[in-house]
Amino acid sequence: MSPKYQHEAYPGRVSQIISAASAVAIDGQGRLLLVKRGREPQRGRWSLPGGKINPGESFEDAAIREFAEETGLVIEIIRKLGITRMPTLDGREYEIHNFYTRVIRGELAAADDAAGARWFPLNELYDLELTTGLLAYLREVKVIPE
């Protein structure tokens, strides 16, 4: 069964499902790459690189494209981690396909809708202002210990 995180503030009826993809990348020093959201929702919080799927695009291709747009880095997909379902208070639901990846080239630089991009040691994640549910999800998929 794929890991799934259900947000505790589920509003009830879903009016629209928005497909998205995100990427988990850990470097050779054991650090996780996060981007600081430059736009709402959750502007200013640290999150995994990712975003909405374009028409006709695969989930894998969307994760690769969004990662490059937000960080300047090119990744390859290692495996699918699962699907996160993130309801919003306005009745929509994000269905986020999450992938474990490896950076293969590029220079780290925040771009597109990312206000920042940085590698974080895993023990620093607990002190960051992360997007809702991210810490629980990273525990669930065993990126960080329970």
24-46 pLDDT, tens digit per residue, is 999 999 999 999 999 988 999 99
Q: What is the DSSP pairing of strand 73-87 with strand 92-106? A: antiparallel
Q: Which residue has the higher pLDDT, 96 or 2?
A: 96
Look at residue 4 and tell me if it is in a domain.
no
Question: CA-CA distance, 4 to 97, in Å (whole number)?
Answer: 10
Cβ(46)–Cβ(131) below 8 Å: yes
**Which residues constitute the domain of residue 40?**
16-136
The pLDDT, as a whole number, for residue 18 is 92
Look at residue 6 and tell me if it is in a domain.
no
Over 50: is that where the pLDDT of 2 sits? no
CATH number at residue 43: 3.90.79.10
Look at residue 146 and tell me if it is in a domain.
no
Other beta carbons less than 10 A from residue 90's beta carbon: 9
First and final C-alpha spacing in the chain: 19
Look at residue 111 and tell me if it is in a domain.
yes
For 52-87, write each residue's pLDDT tens digit: 999 999 999 999 999 999 999 999 999 999 998 888
